Amino acid sequence: VNQILLLLLVLTVCAILYNKVHQVPLALKNETVDLESPEEVEEEIAVVICAAAGRMGAAVAAISSIYSNTEANVLFYIVGLKTTLPHIRKWIENSKLKEIKFKVVEFNPMVLKGKIRQDASRPELLQPLNFVRFYLPLLIQKHEKVIYLDDDVIVQGDIQELYDTKLAPGHAAAFSDDCDLPSTHEMVRSVGMQNTYMGFLDYRKQAVRDLGISPSTCSFNPGVIVANMTEWKRQRITKQLEKWMQRNVEENLYSSTLGGGVATSPMLIVFHGKYSSINPMWHIRHLGWSPDARYSEQFLQEAKLLHWNGRYKPWDYPSVHTDLWENWFIPDPSGKFKLTRPDS
């Protein structure tokens, strides 16, 4: 009996020593490593915005509005040409935006060689950065989901809501229908803007008719995009867009004299019937189509995102609802970018 008791005592002592020896590394590990559960790791929201020469204040205002209205973990990808990137970096680092997380990404316009048909009627629509949205997977490597925004927008809501937009299986992107909000119909009529495929594609061309898309089909606006990078790459969206760009060079299927210029039309073709919808209040458009037509102030206050698409930009004159845009503008520390106002 004594031998049995002695054996049990020895085993107990060994067990205690074993536990102490193996618990020490765990204690040390807890002191040096963040053991957050996967649910507690905050997802990073990738937002792509272009910074074009002559309109960098637009990108700054858009970024400022997003950053000020969310607690989400946002990483801004600021895309520009080689000559413009130092300016935008300096602007951010010497303003209250110095706290944002951002990367500057150079866009090489040589990828567009032979893919753009020159058109002198609206040369601003042929600027290389208008086509950045075609090449999202080449610019953004590590994110599954990406938000692309035109620079002439202001975000009044929490960007997390836009990011949470559900994309249907097999859809590479979500857009806003141009027929989605009754409150915008009067604006569209008053400025004579097209909101169907007829306003973007030349239906006199056989290649356009062969698409089998009714000219009365509602168009969508690619100034705000929620994109799934896996689907985009799987469906080779960039290659499809480039194919239609090249066909336009050869056959003039659309032009900048039509409603959306040369960057919208290829997207209308490639994504026809294959995109999800963005909440209409997350893309209130046409604020830049007329220097006179205005939405009601109550409607604009309820909007989550405002878009000055069109010729009349809020940093220029004339334009409408400039106060809503200027709330988020941050002056250029270098003094190169200045607002155009009646008294300036």
Across 19-39, b (16+ Cβ under 10 Å) vs e yields: eeeeeeeeeeeeeeeeeeeee
Count of the separate structural domains present in the chain: 1
Closest to 62 (Cα-Cα) out of 238, 73, 74, 110: 74
* 69 belongs to a structural domain: yes
Encode pLDDT of 223-249 as tens digits: 999 999 999 999 999 999 999 999 999
Give the pLDDT of residue 4: 67
* Domain of residue 87, residue span: 45-178+221-235+275-327
Can you spell out the DSSP letters for 93-138?
HTSGGGGSEEEEEE--GGGGTTT----SSSGGGG-GGGGGGGGHHH
Give the pLDDT of residue 27: 30
The lowest-confidence range among 105-114, 287-296, 316-325 is 287-296
Give the pLDDT of residue 127: 87
* 131 belongs to a structural domain: yes
Give the pLDDT of residue 39: 47
* 143 belongs to a structural domain: yes
* 137 belongs to a structural domain: yes
Q: What is the mean pLDDT of the chain?
A: 86
Encode pLDDT of 43-53 as tens digits: 999 999 999 99
* 255 belongs to a structural domain: no
Percent of the chain past pLDDT 70, that is, above it, reads 79
* Residue 339 banded pLDDT, cuts 50, 70, 90: very high
Encode pLDDT of 34-77 as tens digits: 334 444 557 999 999 999 999 999 999 999 999 999 999 999 99
pLDDT at 29 over 80: no
* Residue 117 banded pLDDT, cuts 50, 70, 90: confident
Which CATH number fits the domain that encloses residue 306?
3.90.550.10
* 108 belongs to a structural domain: yes
* 344 belongs to a structural domain: no
Give the pLDDT of residue 10: 65
The answer to whether the CB of 312 falls within 8 A of the CB of 320 is yes
Closest to 55 (Cα-Cα) out of 263, 267, 319, 241: 319
* 112 belongs to a structural domain: yes
* Residue 120 banded pLDDT, cuts 50, 70, 90: very low
Give the pLDDT of residue 289: 87
What is the rounded average pLDDT of the residues 180-197? 65
